[in-house]
Amino acid sequence: MTKKLAIALAVVFASAAWAQKSPSGNTGFDGLDKNRDGYLSKEEVAGDKEMEKRFAKFDSNKDGRWTLDDYIKAHKDNDARITADTAITTKVKSALLLEKGIPSTAISVETYEGRVQLSGFVDKADIKDKAGKVAAGVSGVKAVENKLAVK
């Protein structure tokens, strides 16, 4: 009887914990709100590089803390950056693939805020240069860091 009661209580407590919602309704926001005041300070978002970078821009009333709305806007801004960078990476990879003489499968492409980094190995310096020029010619590319190594 005691074992059955213990199991029943465990199920009830587990269900109650699962059913509880976060105070703001946004678990990401609530996970960062360490002092549970319903706002995020710059120190509270410091562990998330992208959110910390956007703190001043999205502190709507410039009081040094974010509301849930500020947090959501900053996340949407970062999501838009990720989407744009992914599109640029795809366009650069496609352009390299279409360009004759460039071993596109040997070239890695990474993009952050429109800045493209090429890495990998190519056989000749002129191929490295050509790959850099192709990448630079893609719409949305702000800069190219050509780290291709000639082997």
Summarize pLDDT for 55-105 with one digit per residue, the tens. Answer: 999 999 999 999 999 999 999 999 999 999 999 999 999 999 999 999 999
**What range does the domain containing 132 cover?**
84-150
pLDDT score of 20 more than 60? no
pLDDT score of 8 more than 90? no
Residue 107's Cβ-count burial label (10 Å; 0-12, 13-18, 19+) is buried
- Tell me if 48 is assigned to some domain: no
pTM comes to 0.79
pLDDT score of 14 more than 60? no
CA distance 65 to 38: 10
Number of domains in the chain: 1
- Tell me if 132 is assigned to some domain: yes
Report the b/e string of 34-51 with b at 16+ CB within 10 A.
eeeeebbbeebbeebeeb
Summarize pLDDT for 22-40 with one digit per residue, the tens. Answer: 688 898 999 999 999 999 9
Give the residue-averaged pLDDT of 139-147.
Answer: 98
- Tell me if 140 is assigned to some domain: yes
CB atoms under 10 Å from CB of 141, counted, come to: 19
- Tell me if 89 is assigned to some domain: yes
pLDDT score of 10 more than 50? yes
Tokens 């496609």 sit on residue: 94
Domain of residue 99, CATH code:
3.30.1340.30
Q: What is the per-residue pLDDT for 12?
A: 56
- Tell me if 8 is assigned to some domain: no
Q: What is the per-residue pLDDT for 47?
A: 85
Give the residue-averaged pLDDT of 129-143.
Answer: 98
- Tell me if 12 is assigned to some domain: no
- Tell me if 130 is assigned to some domain: yes
Summarize pLDDT for 39-57 with one digit per residue, the tens. Answer: 999 999 998 999 999 999 9
- Tell me if 22 is assigned to some domain: no
Residue 63's Cβ-count burial label (10 Å; 0-12, 13-18, 19+) is exposed
pLDDT-based confidence at residue 19 (cuts at 50, 70, 90)? very low
